[in-house]
Structure 1
Amino acid sequence: MLTLGIILPILAQQKEIDVYLVGGQSNATRQAYVKNIPASFKIDTRVRIYYSRFLNKGEGSEQWNPLCQASETKNKFGIELSLGTKLQSLYPKPQIALIKHALSGSNLYQQWNPGNRQKNIRGEEYINFIKTVKDAIISLKQQGYRPIIKAMVWQQGEADARDIAGMEQSRQYSSNLKNFIEQIRKEFNSENMLFVYGTVIPIAASRFTGRELVRKAQFAVSNNSNSEFSVNNALLIPADDLQMLYNDYQIQHLKMMYI
């Protein structure tokens, strides 16, 4: 009872903070340009973000910042701006925090491999992601917060559908993604953590020989697929109608100037 008498007041003083994880390859780092953000969009800087040293060329990394872009370079931004801002408006209390690590062109079968299955080796990007999240969580606790991991946003799959990956890796995507989700949940002791991911490769291209296999695998893993690979609380979002980089209105404008 004495121990509880000490612990409970401490817990009561801690501020809850809802944490959302972001990972994947180029569509997770994202390639949108900051200069194209509409003036009407206001970033909610009450939201906090922590990102790995592999984003923004390391500038401002591995520390908590008010919500800002976290992409390959400072002139680009990703889902973090709209995600963080919208979440904070939907859930005014508690505070929202994002943790992000992503690497363009990275694959799931090797680079994001958790290394928890026989003959598998833990991939470098998985290691980087886990370290980034754990360091960020420790930092929040040191600042008096009680972090609660609410969900993970994942955008990846193109690299596993590439011709250079090989068709076998495309065929294994459902098994690999299911294993990845389950292991991420174990890492952070969050058994039913919501896992949200979007469809990939909306337009067929010759280099994506495993496109259909990966897209079918994405559906197979989703919560409502009723397949052997279905994962509880894994939510697949149709993303084929989202704007692609080559449709960037400023790039299109430049094309028109030279036609």
Structure 2
Amino acid sequence: MKRLILLFLFTLGIILPILAQPKEIDVYLIGGQSNATGQAYVRNIPASFKIDTTVRIYYSRFLNKGEGSEQWSPLCQASETKNKFGIELSLGTKLQSLYPKRQIALIKHALSGSNLYQQWNPGNRPKNIRGEEYIKFIKTVKDAITSLKQQGYHPIIRAMVWQQGEADARDIAGMEQSRQYSSNLKNFIEQIRKEFNSENMLFVYGTVMPIAAARFTGRELVRKAQIAVSENSNSEFSVNNTLLIPADDLQMLSNDYQTPAPKDDVHLGTYGILTLGERFADAIYQRLK
């Protein structure tokens, strides 16, 4: 009997610490401007696309007009208004299909029309001021991570998805800001990694402005800068573990079903957004596997 009791206590001593360990949850961050926020319309999502609501999402109070924000919810659209959606739906759904045994969580803050040189500026260089959107993003992520820990999870930031650059190419920004995009993006990536103690966090971003327009005077500079920052560019601005995803062939909002913006030459439509999210997920999976 004594031996049985000792064996029981020994077994209990092994099992209890295992049961007490927090459950891992994979976290993916989303940031950027309008094509990250999402300008596609929920009403146009095809019936064949099913949102995986086992995925969880946390978004800032500046999305969906604050409705449902700053709390963990089943995966849903998180744009400026609830009738629009961004890459979160297909990104989260595809990631879950690629990682069926992992728990997936998305954290999102984005603002349409926001620039990198000022609004998303980390403020870590001389004479730089920390931008408002950067501050909002960091707070959103940290609050979301804290909430997961309070729920007994062990969150692991796997990657960040970024869709931005148009504002830095605008005529109103000035050509100097377009020229600085490679330097600014490199600095942004490196500082984001420091903020979350993730020195080599995967950073995935898509090409912007597939269509030339007169107001985007710095378009070519920004697009070249995107290439320069990618890991295989052999540029002085190249950052390890950064992947640039092609998006020039994606459907635009101007070609969307019953589009309210037939002349829109900037924003992705329903299938464009859905495809971009899936491309991001595939790229993340191929790199992290």
Match of 1:227 in 2: 235
- CA deviation vs aligned residue, 1:102-130 (integer Å, no higher than 9, x gap): 00000000000000000000000000000
Which segments of structure 1 move beyond 6 Å, counting only runs of 4 or more?
Answer: 1-8, 252-255
Q: Which runs of 5+ in 1 are unaligned?
A: none
Q: How far apart are the structure 2 equivalents of 1:213 and 1:90?
A: 35
Structure 1 residue 17: deviation in Å?
0.3
Residues 253 and 96 of structure 1, relative CA distance in 2, 3 Å threshold: closer
Q: How far apart are the structure 1 equivalents of 2:156 and 2:288?
A: 46
Percent identity of equivalent pairs: 92
Match of 2:3 in 1: none
- CA deviation vs aligned residue, 1:146-192 (integer Å, no higher than 9, x gap): 00000000000000000000000000000000000000000001111
SS in 1 for 2:109: strand
Structure 1 residue 93: deviation in Å?
1.9
Decide which of 210, 217, 222 is 2:218's aligned counterpart.
210
For the pair 1:118 / 2:152, whether they are aligned, the reply is no
Residues 7 and 57 of structure 1, relative CA distance in 2, 3 Å threshold: farther
Residues 102 and 8 of structure 1, relative CA distance in 2, 3 Å threshold: farther
Residues 5 and 138 of structure 1, relative CA distance in 2, 3 Å threshold: farther
Residues 173 and 95 of structure 1, relative CA distance in 2, 3 Å threshold: same
Q: How many aligned positions are there?
A: 254
Q: Structure 2-normalised TM-score?
A: 0.83
Q: Which moved more, 1:1-10 or 1:118-127?
A: 1-10
Q: How far apart are the structure 1 equivalents of 2:92 and 2:74?
A: 10
RMSD (Å) for aligned C-alpha atoms:
5.8
Q: How far apart are the structure 2 equivalents of 1:8 and 1:194?
A: 34
Structure 1 residue 6: deviation in Å?
12
Q: Which moved more, 1:89-98 or 1:171-180?
A: 89-98
Residues 224 and 29 of structure 1, relative CA distance in 2, 3 Å threshold: same
Structure 1 residue 13: deviation in Å?
2.5
Q: Which runs of 5+ in 2 are unaligned?
A: 1-8, 259-285
Residues 87 and 204 of structure 1, relative CA distance in 2, 3 Å threshold: same
Residues 145 and 225 of structure 1, relative CA distance in 2, 3 Å threshold: same
Match of 2:288 in 1: 254
- CA deviation vs aligned residue, 1:62-103 (integer Å, no higher than 9, x gap): 000000000010000110000000000100122000000000
Residues 24 and 2 of structure 1, relative CA distance in 2, 3 Å threshold: farther
Q: How far apart are the structure 1 equivalents of 2:176 and 2:11?
A: 55
- CA deviation vs aligned residue, 1:201-254 (integer Å, no higher than 9, x gap): 00000000000000000000001101000000110001001111111122x999
Q: How far apart are the structure 2 equivalents of 1:137 and 1:11?
A: 21
Residues 51 and 238 of structure 1, relative CA distance in 2, 3 Å threshold: same
Q: How far apart are the structure 1 equivalents of 2:159 and 2:256?
A: 29
Structure 1 residue 49: deviation in Å?
0.1
Structure 1 residue 21: deviation in Å?
0.1
